[in-house]
Amino acid sequence: MARTGPTTNDSTTVKLGLAQIRVLDSTTNIAEKDAVGETTDSIGTLSMTKYTGDTEFYKLESGFPLSTDAYFPLRENASIECGIREMTPYNWALIYGIDPVGSYAEEHSGEINLGARVTPAYLRMEAHYTYPDGSNKMYIIFPRAVVTSTVEEDSQLEEASSVPVTFTATPADDSVTDGNAAWNSAPLGRIYWAEA
């Protein structure tokens, strides 16, 4: 009997596993539309990665009884949430919205001051995902992101702890300070696919 239901069209397009998150300096790389991060820019092993593209719409209605005529986008946001497992000063600075790039180089030496938070630093966040076939890639680029998350580290007896962190895209077009015209058609960033 032939299979029915939603069968696979192309198994090379199925995502399995997590993206690698790379963090870079935003200002230095603002004109780059493609991924430029190296594996050395990775924040390390993760417990999860989750992309959210949130859009709020206005619904135009008319007539009696009312019927929907159109939807107009009011707000668009993009974010990536991940669970950081490596508890380094670099990653904790990142979690607290501090720009860790070029600082916090020691794995077990550093300091985060509590009760002194300021506006989060702008960072470039790149999510690099390699499909299971090892040759196809998917990239999510936030050229000017901020970390907008509450810090919560939950340690368990027989599990590695994981701290959730959310990278939120902010506009990177040339209408903002330190933005660039390269992002005028995609102010929050972009998602693209490529073969390795």
DSSP 158: T
User: Which one, of 127, 132, 125, lies nearest residue 17 by Cα?
Assistant: 132
User: Which of 157, 13, 22 has the alpha carbon at shortest distance from 82?
Assistant: 22
Q: Is residue 3 part of a domain?
A: no
pLDDT score, position 62: 97
**Structure tokens, 153:** 């580290």
What integer is the mean pLDDT of 130-139?
A: 94
Whether 30 is covered by a domain: the verdict is yes
Q: Is 2 a member of any domain?
A: no
Domain that holds residue 18: 11-195
Q: Is the pTM of this model over 0.85?
A: yes
Could you write out the DSSP letters of every residue in 45-75?
A: -EEEEEEEEEEEEEEEEETTTTEEEEEEEEE
In a domain, 1, yes or no: no
Of the two residues 137 and 103, the one the predictor is more confident about is 137
Residues 6+ apart with CB under 8 A from 141: 33, 34, 35, 124, 125, 126, 127, 189, 190, 191, 192
CB of 44 closer than 8 Å to CB of 84: yes
Residue at 4 is within a domain: no
> Is residue 156 one of the residues assigned to a domain?
yes
Query: In this structure, is residue 188 part of a structural domain?
Result: yes
What percent of the chain is modeled with pLDDT above 90?
Answer: 82
Provide the pLDDT confidence category of residue 196 given band limits of 50, 70 and 90.
low
Q: Give the chain's domain count.
A: 1
In a domain, 6, yes or no: no
